[in-house]
Amino acid sequence: MTEPRRRAARVLLLDPADRILLLHGFDPLQPGRTWWFTPGGGVEADEELTEAALREVAEETGITDVSLGPLVARRSTAFSFDGRTFDQDEWYYLGRTRTTTLDASGQTELERRSVDGLRWWPVAELLAATETVYPEGLGGLLAALLEGGAPDSPVRLPSLALWSTMDERTHS
């Protein structure tokens, strides 16, 4: 079943050492297929993007002292997850925190079934990662942000179709 188009706010959350926080997840219907991803998620009907970004970080990580910076990237994606198909527009904000202790107790039931770890990544490790990381090119984006600061306007990340529970050939 295809869901209505979804808006998502995501955060490139950096600690004082410029490490980025990523969550490790999997599709509950395909637990052997895993990936790392940024905190964030769906925007509720009455929320601004920035409100959703901060709420999602708090729910997923327990971190509430986020200084949310500028919008640095956007992308559109389509994916299948937990038996549902999503078309999603994503907005990525740069965020900073002094907190490095994580608490996943606020995660939703679905997050508890599909997230099995959180980790702070130095940019060099992210650039060298062989594991799947979403969005694609996150290491390069983060390195550019740390080197040159936020862009004047959000970077447009490649639009992708990611099919985790369906045969990719049926969606070409």
Q: What is the CATH number of the domain that holds 41?
A: 3.90.79.10
Query: Omega of the bond prior to 135 within 30 degrees of 0, cis?
Result: yes
- Distance between CA atoms of 86 and 8, rounded to whole angstroms? 11
Residue 16 predicted with pLDDT over 70: yes
So what's the pLDDT on residue 97? 98
Residue 18 falls inside a structural domain: yes
DSSP secondary structure string for all residues of the chain: -BPPPEEEEEEEEE-TT-PEEEEEEEETTEEEEEEEE-SEEEPPTT--HHHHHHHHHHHHH-----EEEEEEEEEEEEEEETTEEEEEEEEEEEEE-S-----GGG--HHHHHHEEEEEEE-HHHHHH--S-EESTTHHHHHHHHHHH-S-SS-EEPPPEEEESSS-GGGG-
The pTM score is: 0.90
Average pLDDT of the chain to the nearest whole number? 90
Q: What is the pLDDT of residues 54-110, one digit of tens each?
A: 999 999 999 999 999 999 999 999 888 888 888 899 999 999 999 999 999 999 999
- Distance between CA atoms of 42 and 5, rounded to whole angstroms? 10
Residue where the block lists tokens 């969606």: 171
**Confidence band (pLDDT; 50, 70, 90) for 164?**
very low
Does residue 45 contact residue 78 with C-beta atoms inside 8 Å? no
Residue 57 falls inside a structural domain: yes
Number of domains in the chain: 1
Half-sphere exposure of 112 (CA within 13 A, CB side): 8
Residue 1 falls inside a structural domain: no
Cβ neighbors of 50 (< 8 A, separation 6 or more) are 9, 68, 93
Residue 86 falls inside a structural domain: yes
Residue 172 predicted with pLDDT over 70: no
Residue 142 falls inside a structural domain: yes
Domain that holds residue 54: 6-167
Residue 53 falls inside a structural domain: yes
Amino acid identity, position 105:
S
